[in-house]
Structure formats: C-alpha cells, structure tokens
Amino acid sequence: MRDSNERRLRATVRLSAQGDAERDFDDRFWESLGPEARLEALWDLVLEADEWRGNPGGQPRLRRLLLRVERA
C-alpha cells in the first residue's frame, strides 16, 4: 500500500461531458498504468470498501458459503 502523500504527487485530470469520450479517456488512463498499478489500485479500493463496512485495519476474507444438497 502506498503512502497517501505519494498519491498526491501525481494527478491526471480531464473535464468533459459524460459519454463515450469520457469512457475512452478512462480506458486509456488505466491501460497506461500497467497491470501492477491497476491491481494495486483495485486492492486499495477493496480495503477502503472493507473499512466502510466497519472492518477497519482487518484483512478482507473470502466469503464462505455452505450448501447441502439432498435428493428427495
């Protein structure tokens, strides 16, 4: 995880109306980062969402579901 000060050093900003042009800009931006940076950004969002759910500082876990199938 990166330091929050490091994130503030670089920003890419573009003002546009919503639509295809905005989507193209987003696609080009994320493609320019490379896979490692995209995964790191995704993981930061996972941790942030986990905090919003009331699990601060914990390691997110996979959901465990149990299913029992019986023949009638």
CB 25 within 8 A of CB 17: no
Q: Name the DSSP class of 54.
A: T
Regarding pTM above 0.75, the answer is no
| Domain total of the chain | 1
| Domain range for 61 | 1-72
Residue keyed to tokens 């905005």: 22
Low-confidence ranges of the chain (pLDDT < 70): 1-11, 16, 56, 58
In this prediction, residue 50 carries a pLDDT of 84
Q: Name the DSSP class of 58.
A: P
Nearby residues of 33 by Cβ (< 8 Å), 6 or more positions away: 41
Residue 45 to residue 39: CA distance in whole angstroms: 10
